[in-house]
Amino acid sequence: MKLKDPRLLKTQALIDGQWLDADDGGSIPVVNPADGEVIARVARCQGTETRRAIEAASRAFQDWRSQTAKARSRALRRWFDLIIAHQEDLAVIMTAEQGKPLAESRGEVAYGAAFLEWFAEEAPRVYGDTIPGPAPDKRVVTLKQPVGVVACITPWNFPIAMLTRKVGPALAAGCAVVCKPASATPLSALAIAELAVRADIPAGVVNVLAGDTRAIGGELTANPEVRKLTFTGSTAVGKMLLEQCAATVKRTSMELGGNAPFIVFNDADLDAAVQGALICKFRNAGQTCVCANRILVQSDIHDAFAERLAAAVAALRVGNGMQPETEVGPLIDSKAADSVLGMVEDAVELGAEVLAGGQRAVNGECFVEPTILTGVRSDMRVFREEIFGPVAPLVKFDTDDEAVELANDTEYGLAAYFYSRDIGRVWRMAERLDYGIVGINEGIISNEAAPFGGMKASGIGREGSKYGMDEYLEVKYLCMGGI
Ligand code: SIN
């Protein structure tokens, strides 16, 4: 890893403005999934370090919440500027630990930074209300106040954007945070934390510690000082965290798994649909919770669509994300590749056909060939489970009703996509799909201005946009009498 600013490569925890080793000196290895090389070892924190970080956040919160919104806004803006200034180094760190192609890492750095810029602009616009009183001598007013110390638990698939999407609005609202990045990708989060220090965000407002997931998670969920927990990750872990948060009645935001349908109707612009499916499915090697998981294609255009998609997929270049030509990198580890290949095997055993790929790629243990399956049915694992890999299962349908039924036949409800040029169908479908996000003639739906989040088992709450701020605010109502 060649960095212009090697001081961005942090391996200690940031607690109360200090870079610290784990109390017991323990560390965890960070492995490059492209070649299996250990690129760093980071401090393996436990419950005691977490408790210290929470105490620091709790102290820092008192001053941070009393600063003007404008002052918090300026601090977030300085942090944004530093991230953009170090975009290339941050992208290199991300590709080294996460595997995604460098171009995607650069894109994620910009996407992640955009949440800080957005919420820097939202900070001074947190308005309360004056509400007509219920009696002549009463006046009703609302204030919005920060919830307090926030625990942020973030995943490995978007190691910067998922952090800033939580920390941006939390800090803008006046909260202090304790962040636990995924053990597979702590370096990106720690580099971002170093830039928070350089942006003069006060000590204790941002704390970041990697390490023992159970011990850190246990303390974050049990400690009464933590008033809110925000998590991005699997539905299974989300459910566990919700249970753990119940004892201290914390506010929670959960951005969990998905099983996105991507529907192509017979009146779609086929080239646009193929391009949309390609980017939506194979971005980050299929490791996003909004990736097309099931591609539903109307029967009269099915074969033409499948043929064009297969040609586009055959042209995708698989390899180490550091090589500039790479378009599909490795999965996060070999276990993930095994799991994806297991789903392909299950589909094939039940009668699906492999139109492209279908095997582990020659590049290494963590690589899977970009794959297209046809003849997929709803009893196959690729239809029911979140694939989290570069596998596109194609399902044929005939009518709009059938498409809706197949699309909604899942416990998840995060993102759905469809391609059609019929305005009536566009409205009908948009309203009938049980999903928090619907991409219409568009395969990329993520941006800082829009509310990201799901229904059903895909989670609770929204991130980004004007709605993202509410997740970190309490509404306090003042009832004034005797007027
Ligand atoms: C996710 O996979 O959790 C987020 C994807 C995105 O923000 O686009």
In sequence order, what are the residues at sequence separation of 6 or more whose Cβ sits closer than 8 angstroms to the Cβ of residue 421?
267, 268, 269, 441
CA–CA separation, 171 and 451 (whole Å): 18
Q: Mutate which of 111, 154, 162 to test ligand 1's pocket (most atoms within 8 Å of Cβ)?
A: 162
**What is the structure's pLDDT at 258?**
98
pLDDT of residue 1: 84
**Does ligand 1 come within 6 angstroms of the Cβ of 458?**
no
pTM for the predicted model, two decimal places: 0.97
Q: Whose CA is nearest to atom 5 of ligand 1?
A: 288
Q: Is 407 in the pocket of ligand 1 (CB under 6 A)?
A: no
Nearest CA to ligand 1 atom 8: 446
Ligand 1, residues 157, 163, 234, 465: which to mutate, most atoms within 8 A of Cβ? Answer: 157
Over its length of 483 residues, how does the chain's per-residue pLDDT go in tens digits? Answer: 899 999 999 999 999 999 999 999 999 999 999 999 999 999 999 999 999 999 999 999 999 999 999 999 999 999 999 999 999 999 999 999 999 999 999 999 999 999 999 999 999 999 999 999 999 999 999 999 999 999 999 999 999 999 999 999 999 999 999 999 999 999 999 999 999 999 999 999 999 999 999 999 999 999 999 999 999 999 999 999 999 999 999 999 999 999 999 999 999 999 999 999 999 999 999 999 999 999 999 999 999 999 999 999 999 999 999 999 999 999 999 999 999 999 999 999 999 999 999 999 999 999 999 999 999 999 999 999 999 999 999 999 999 999 999 999 999 999 999 999 999 999 999 999 999 999 999 999 999 999 999 999 999 999 999 999 999 999 999 999 999
- Which of the residues 255, 369, 386, 471 is marked catalytic? 255
Known catalytic membership, residue 411 = no
Name beta bridge partners: 150: 177, 228
- Active site includes 289? yes
At residue 191, the pLDDT reads 98
Mutational test site, ligand 1, from 232, 282, 290, 444, max ligand atoms within 8 Å of CB: 290
Q: Is 235 in the pocket of ligand 1 (CB under 6 A)?
A: no
Q: 251, 227 in Cβ contact below 8 A?
A: yes
Q: Whose CA is nearest to atom 7 of ligand 1?
A: 446
